[in-house]
Structure 1
Amino acid sequence: MQKPDTEGPETAQPDEDETAGAAAGSVSRLEEEGDIAADYLEELLDIADIDGDIDIEVRNGRTYISIVSEDEENEALEALVGPGGEVLEALQELTRLAVLASTDNRSRLVLDITGYRQERGRELQQIAEDAAARARETGKPVALEPMSAYERKIVHDAVADLGLVSESEGEGAGRHIVVFLES
């Protein structure tokens, strides 16, 4: 039996070309996810007879799909957001399943309709700032209302940026964030 050679190019770190190739492959996979998701959503909009334009963007290792309208008051698209973004969350999961069915890869794509997630992101930032201020004033933990995993991630990041600590507690629909001072 021959002993493997541990010296030489086989043990070297990947060169820049290999690293760039892997990154390009990842972007290509994300672009494919975006195309599949856009096709799925376009068909859904056609079936429902809803007007909307679909934009695809790849950033930070995720595919972002936005459905927008030239009409400021597109009630049909707003209905696809639903109260508290519930319908949007369901559509995002269905879109992820469509990508999974086509690629055999789980997707972390983010779906936004009529800028709801952008606006909600600003609200979540304010919620995080208010909770951090209350925790600093009282020295006690501050529990927030339940929210989706995506929204909790935004709040956790905002709280960390403010120099405080947060944890998710509870299960299912009752999962929420607690903000507290670092001990």
Structure 2
Amino acid sequence: MNEKMNEETGTAVQFLENLLQTARLDVRVQNEQPGDEGLLLELHGPDNGLVLSNSARVLYALEHLVNQVVHHHSGGYSKVTLDCNGYRSTRMLELQLMARKAAEKVRTTGVSFSLQPMPAAERRVIHLTLAEEAGIRTESAGMGLNRHVVIFPGQ
């Protein structure tokens, strides 16, 4: 890791550990490793369930806060991704399967299909999964917490 990445990692881990302690969540940062687009921090502990409850909203909120702090303090633009108990890889497989099933339904019926609202990172997985699929196209629609992917027949 270079010096800039070390600084960003230190900032991210220190902020996250302080935040988890303040929130009285018994979760620790156990692994720090370079990820696909920046830094991946793995969280583990007895309160994993709380972090992952309600479609992992706490995990996504923590990730957002950590990224804001890292970008503010270090001026860095590396993305910090948080994972908890292997949630990200499991969720990615679920999203890919969901996307393919929905695409098949759209191809079969010729009617567009809207997925449930989801965070930007999850919408991106849907778009990338279906980017090369014949006979369909995808768009994000809605605003804020209601932003979702719509799968359309065509092109």
Fold shared per TM-score above 0.5: yes
Question: Which residue of 2 is the match for residue 39 of structure 1?
Answer: 14
**Cα–Cα, structure 1 residues 35 and 56, in superposed 2: closer, same or farther, change >3 Å?**
same
Equivalent residue for 1:172, pick from 141, 144, 153: 144
Q: Which moved more, 1:119-128 or 1:97-106?
A: 97-106
**What is the CA–CA distance in structure 2 between the aligned matches of 1:49 and 1:166, rounded to whole Å?**
38
Letter paired with 1:41: L
2:40 maps to 1:64: yes
CA offset digits 1:11-46 (Å, max 9, x no partner): xxxxxxxxxxxxx8xx65344323321222233344
**Residues 36, 99 of structure 1: 8 Å contact kept:** yes
How far has the Cα of 1:61 moved from its partner?
3.0
Report sequence identity in percent: 29
**Cα–Cα, structure 1 residues 133 and 91, in superposed 2: closer, same or farther, change >3 Å?**
same
Question: Which residue of 2 is the match for residue 14 of structure 1?
Answer: none
**Residues 48, 85 of structure 2: 8 Å contact kept:** yes
**What is the CA–CA distance in structure 1 between the aligned matches of 2:95 and 2:25, rounded to whole Å?**
32
Equivalent residue for 1:152, pick from 123, 127, 134: 123
**What is the CA–CA distance in structure 2 between the aligned matches of 1:33 and 1:166, rounded to whole Å?**
35
**What is the CA–CA distance in structure 1 between the aligned matches of 2:100 and 2:122, rounded to whole Å?**
14
Structure 2: state its 5+ residue gaps: none
**Cα–Cα, structure 1 residues 64 and 182, in superposed 2: closer, same or farther, change >3 Å?**
farther
CA offset digits 1:80-130 (Å, max 9, x no partner): 223111111111111112212321234422111122222211211111011
Structure 1: state its 5+ residue gaps: 1-23
Structure number with higher relative contact order (C-alpha < 8 Å, ≥ 6 residues apart): 2
2:23 maps to 1:52: no
How far has the Cα of 1:176 moved from its partner?
0.8
Task: Return the index of the structure with the highest Cα Rg.
Answer: 1
**What is the CA–CA distance in structure 2 between the aligned matches of 1:59 and 1:137, rounded to whole Å?**
37
**What is the CA–CA distance in structure 2 between the aligned matches of 1:61 and 1:53, rounded to whole Å?**
19
**What is the CA–CA distance in structure 1 between the aligned matches of 2:93 and 2:76, rounded to whole Å?**
31
TM-score where L is the length of structure 2: 0.84
**What is the CA–CA distance in structure 1 between the aligned matches of 2:81 and 2:132, rounded to whole Å?**
22
SS at match of 1:96: helix
**Cα–Cα, structure 1 residues 116 and 102, in superposed 2: closer, same or farther, change >3 Å?**
same
**Residues 8, 76 of structure 2: 8 Å contact kept:** no
Instruction: Give the structure with the larger strand fraction.
Output: 2
**What is the CA–CA distance in structure 1 between the aligned matches of 2:100 and 2:12, rounded to whole Å?**
34
Matched residues, number: 153
Question: Which residue of 1 is the match for residue 97 of structure 2?
Answer: 126
